[in-house]
Structure 1
């Protein structure tokens, strides 16, 4: 069964000027239920991640100041969100969702978080709408529990997974792969184990060929026993921040390539949604919904 982490808190609470990007967390589950892709049985409400697990990845002093709402104004500006207790509570619930998804993926082959993909969170700071790094926390959980020995993080958000790259820079058991806009945020890129910077305006054919050039090779060379997939849909041509030119069909084919590769190689996968900033909320929801539709079709 496809298990999906979701809570009403994912879409709450943010000031009105931050509401639009968060609408997808309300609308995406509704769309999946309405069309019959999933039922209520597929969803689970995650528990907040424990402090003990958070500080396995994040610096204890950073977590203490974040938890105590003691970040400096400059640090808060870099995250993009006004800091509040509700925001921190939301974040640690999303983190718990991805960790619990990892356990479900070991059982069912795949699991998905309606939120997550917070790849701009570093060991000791947050950036770009990310306070804590869910894929890093879940990967560390698997390593600590002996449930995985080699993890591949496939980050196909339009922005480089800079925080994830920094966190695992000296961890040979985690291979970080980021295919992202070369001229996009962040200005300063970290060094992933493999970075593929993309030119502005790249379309479906060239993008998918590059991905095909790398994915099977990575599966054969890294030999992962677990994959985390950051499936941001800000690669769409309609995205206000993306600078790329993928169609919905191209974005869907991207997801198919990742999901089928893991299914055929019997490698458990967790997908987190990542970014999406198209002008029409329907474009964001439709692109994300395709990831869930494909997971159902391929794995079940």
Structure 2
């Protein structure tokens, strides 16, 4: 059955509105660039839902009150902020809270219409009581908790970012209703891995065939064994061969095939998917945007509403 309406899209301009030190490693402009690229491809401005700030109740469903208060009020110590990787500012906090709220809204829309995509999200290194690796709050965990509060019995967090979802794994260690799965570079950050429900460490320089086989086998097994009612998909593109931090050798066609496989397999089984764009660290924003767009080509094709250039996208799938 082909979907008859476009996927839900969630975005806020604040995602790229953050002053960072000169040559800071985080590509803060990529969210604006991705939004602009979708508009240029013909996606109407009114198709985007504007993100709202996460509520205190949503944050505290995952994060400790002490950590939350110290971070929001700017009282977290220097060492803790250095572990996060950003200088503290009110704008940083507001941006982060808005992104968490956006992933919650992505889950809301996915449960309503089957598929929704967030032009941010994937802050999976945040633990209940500390941040790490550019992650202040764990939007994936907050959104999963929200889904459970709405009557969802089981959530699968399928994390394909190149870095292990260590914070997510630790948060849900004793929560059988949330299945955490991480397919990541074995020799990449974090050095100390946590135990997810399903971990698959990939070798440095892993190529398309090996990677796609791992994705397919993992997803097929997890969907069959756990039968989730919702999949939260972290479609990180730092697996790409040109990524500055990835260490894997996955092509753009490989990313496209991965995203199509995940979305289409869940669709065949009638499982709603809430997707976030996750990591991607090329300094060339135009090139980075083109890789992130693979998720959106897949989602619009699955919805029966092709974006321009879809034929080129399908050609990549067939090669």
For Structure 1 versus Structure 2, the TM-score category normalised by the shorter chain is over 0.9
Output the CA distance in 1 between the equivalents of 2:253 and 2:264. 16
What do the CA deviations read for 1:26-54 (whole angstroms, capped 9, x no partner)?
A: 11011111022x21122011111111111
Q: CA deviation at 1:221?
A: 0.2
- Whether contact under 8 Å (2:15, 2:95) holds in the other structure is yes
Scaled by the length of structure 2, the TM-score of the pair is 0.91
1:98 maps to what in 2?
103
Q: CA deviation at 1:195?
A: 0.3
Q: CA deviation at 1:145?
A: 2.3
1:141 and 2:146 equivalent?
A: yes
> Which residue of 163, 169, 173 maps to 1:165?
169
> Which residue of 173, 192, 195 maps to 1:191?
195
Output the CA distance in 1 between the equivalents of 2:176 and 2:25. 39
Output the CA distance in 1 between the equivalents of 2:187 and 2:92. 30
1:262 maps to what in 2?
266
1:236 and 2:247 equivalent?
A: no
Matches within 5 A, 1:1-300: 1-17=6-22, 18=24, 21-36=27-42, 38-146=43-151, 148-300=152-304
- Whether contact under 8 Å (1:109, 1:299) holds in the other structure is no
- Whether contact under 8 Å (1:238, 1:279) holds in the other structure is no
Aligned length, in residue pairs: 298
Output the CA distance in 2 between the equivalents of 1:10 and 1:122. 21
| Local SS of the residue matching 2:74 | coil
- Whether contact under 8 Å (2:27, 2:283) holds in the other structure is no
List runs of 5+ in structure 2 lacking aligned partners: 1-5, 305-319
Output the CA distance in 2 between the equivalents of 1:279 and 1:5. 24
Q: Which moved more, 1:9-18 or 1:196-205?
A: 9-18
- Whether contact under 8 Å (2:18, 2:28) holds in the other structure is no
Scaled by the length of structure 1, the TM-score of the pair is 0.97
Q: CA deviation at 1:14?
A: 2.2
Over aligned residue pairs, what C-alpha RMSD do you find? 1.1
Output the CA distance in 2 between the equivalents of 1:222 and 1:259. 17
Output the CA distance in 1 between the equivalents of 2:167 and 2:26. 25
What do the CA deviations read for 1:5-28 (whole angstroms, capped 9, x no partner)?
A: 111101011224238601111110
Output the CA distance in 1 between the equivalents of 2:149 and 2:41. 39
List runs of 5+ in structure 1 lacking aligned partners: none
Q: CA deviation at 1:213?
A: 1.6
